[in-house]
């Protein structure tokens, strides 16, 4: 009878240890999963703040461009700007608009005389190389 009690005690002891090991492994896996999820949440929050900053910058740019486009006289609007950086940006925008109008739309300023260089002009109907 003593042997049976010892065997039962050993089996109960082994089962108890296995159960404790199983619970410990579950807790460890959960801890790793929680750490991974917290890192993911941190990354998502960082992306969210970056996107908010990007949106606010673009809203400011859109408001600035709306103000520029609604200005009646571009020179007066440029002189009304307080910041030198804004004046330089506005000047660059005006220059870009002028370049696009001249090069792509072939527009000219009032009273501007256009000279055409015949040497640079290709004649489509001329078949001689």
pLDDT tens track for 14-69: 999 999 999 999 999 999 999 999 999 999 999 999 999 999 999 988 887 777 66
pLDDT at 126: 58
What is the length of the chain? 129
> What is the number of structural domains in the chain?
2
Question: Do residues 90 and 68 lie in contact, with contact meaning Cβ atoms separated by under 8 Å?
Answer: yes
The domain in which residue 63 lies consists of 1-70
CA 2 vs CA 5, 14, 73: distances in Å: 5, 18, 108
Best-predicted range by mean pLDDT (33-37, 98-102, 124-128)? 33-37
Residues 79 and 61 in one domain: no
Residues 38 and 91 in one domain: no
CA 38 vs CA 1, 47, 54: distances in Å: 55, 14, 24
pLDDT at 38: 97
Residues 91 and 62 in one domain: no
Q: Is the pLDDT of residue 116 over 90?
A: no
Residues 95 and 63 in one domain: no
């Amino acid at each position: 009878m003593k042997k049976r009690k010892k065997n039962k005690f050993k089996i109960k002891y082994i089962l108890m240890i296995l159960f404790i090991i199983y619970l410990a492994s579950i807790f460890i896996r959960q801890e790793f999963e929680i750490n991974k999820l917290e890192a993911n949440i941190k990354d998502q929050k960082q992306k969210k703040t970056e996107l908010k900053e990007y949106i606010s910058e673009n809203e400011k740019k859109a408001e600035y461009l709306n103000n520029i486009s609604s200005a009646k006289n571009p020179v007066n609007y440029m002189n009304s700007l307080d910041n030198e950086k804004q004046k330089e940006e506005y000047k660059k925008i005006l220059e870009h608009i002028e370049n696009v109008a001249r090069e792509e739309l072939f527009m000219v300023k009032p009273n501007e005389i256009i000279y055409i260089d015949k040497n640079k002009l290709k004649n489509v109907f001329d078949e001689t190389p």
